[in-house]
Amino acid sequence: MTTLRWGVLSTANIARGALIPAIHASSTSELRAVASRDEAKARAFADENDIPVAYGSYEELLADPDVDAIYNPLPNHLHVPWTIKAMEHGKHVLCEKPISLDTADLQPLLDAHEKMPDIVVMEAFMYRFHPRWIAAKRLVDDEAIGVVTDIDVGFSYFNRDPDNVRNQPEIGGGGLMDIGCYCISTARFLYGGEPWRGVASLEIDADFGTDKHAHGILDFGEGRRSHFFCSTQSAPFQEVRVIGSRGVMVIDWPFNAPTDVPTTIRLTVDGESREIEFAPTDQYRHQVDAFAKAVRAGGPAPTPLADAVANMTAIEAMFSSAVHNAWEPIA
């Protein structure tokens, strides 16, 4: 396989704005087809986004022998079933986060992957493929700011559209699932380990029944913690602040990094401040290229499903903690 041929499962906005441009820009991949449950909608989307083939059902896309990999940006409750169906058709799958509704929902996918280990399946935490984040991880590992003892993550936006999937609890909506997953993933990535307990407080929207504000603490042991705040009804904001024994590292707009201007890491170490600048780039293209490389190599996925399990386990603990108003162990 020289070029990975992609199919997109649905006409979701994240596909239009992020993955499709990334695939078009990639030298490792090409876009073959898109599917919608409305054939006219699929055709219009395909014409708009320079996609050769449009299907009026997801099943038709999965049956296409000229498609090697599927991008699954469906609502959260459809991630696992349609990822499994794609695997059963021999397709590799890049699935949007969070990959499941909870760990019980995730188990059938793990079972399917055990039976089909040659299929590459990955949860799409694209930020990890940005050169800035790769550098941030290296700086933490090298103790450039000393021994890290706290990671503070903030992620918010404002959305009160009742038709938006993020405001529908029965299909996996709410801030903790949608963007809190990034807050948890970030701390796990930088610390290079798993929290052993967590505590959270959630404020539930009276109209939607979803969490609109979430505050949480993750305890990684040995004096290492992470604090986070995520919200679906606050001013748009993103920041990661890493505090060590000798300094502080700050990453502005860490998750939706712009593709057309340089990005930075701000460091203050032993009282001296400096910026590390990174050239404009598209983290989604880096993700697509890494996934395609893994498929060509026969696996494994750049980010294994074990990472998705660990992240979902921590998310579940946050929900449980909010219910019990106490620290919750994270298995």
pLDDT band at 1 (very low <50, low <70, confident <90, very high): low
So what's the pLDDT on residue 331? 81
Residue 41 annotated among the catalytic residues of the structure: no
Predicted pLDDT of residue 49: 97
Which member of 85, 91, 97, 212 is catalytic?
A: 97
pLDDT at 11: 95
Cross-strand partners of 243: 150, 248
Task: Tell me the average pLDDT across 106-120.
Answer: 98
The mean per-residue pLDDT over the stretch 196-209 comes to 98
DSSP string for residues in 221-251 = ETTEEEEEEEESEEEEEEEEEEEESSEEEEE
**Mean of the per-residue pLDDT values for the chain?**
97
Contact 23, 31 (CB under 8 A): yes
Spatial CA neighbour of 94 closest among 79, 104, 81 = 79
pLDDT, tens digit, 9 for 90 and up, residues 62-80: 999 999 999 999 999 999 9
Q: What is the pLDDT of residue 2?
A: 85
Domains of the chain, start order: 4-124 (3.40.50.720), 128-279+312-329 (3.30.360.10)
Q: Give the pLDDT score at 211.
A: 98
Query: Span 29-54, mean pLDDT?
Result: 97
Q: Is the pLDDT of residue 303 over 70?
A: yes
CA–CA dist 288, 263 (Å, integer) = 20
Report the distance separating Cα 62 and Cα 4, nearest Å. 15
Convert the pLDDT of each residue in 230-254 to its tens digit: 999 999 999 999 999 999 999 999 9
- pLDDT score of 268: 98
Binned at pLDDT 50, 70 and 90, residue 322 comes out as: very high
**pTM value surpassing 0.85:** yes
Handedness of CA 130, 132, 138, 140 (dihedral sign): negative
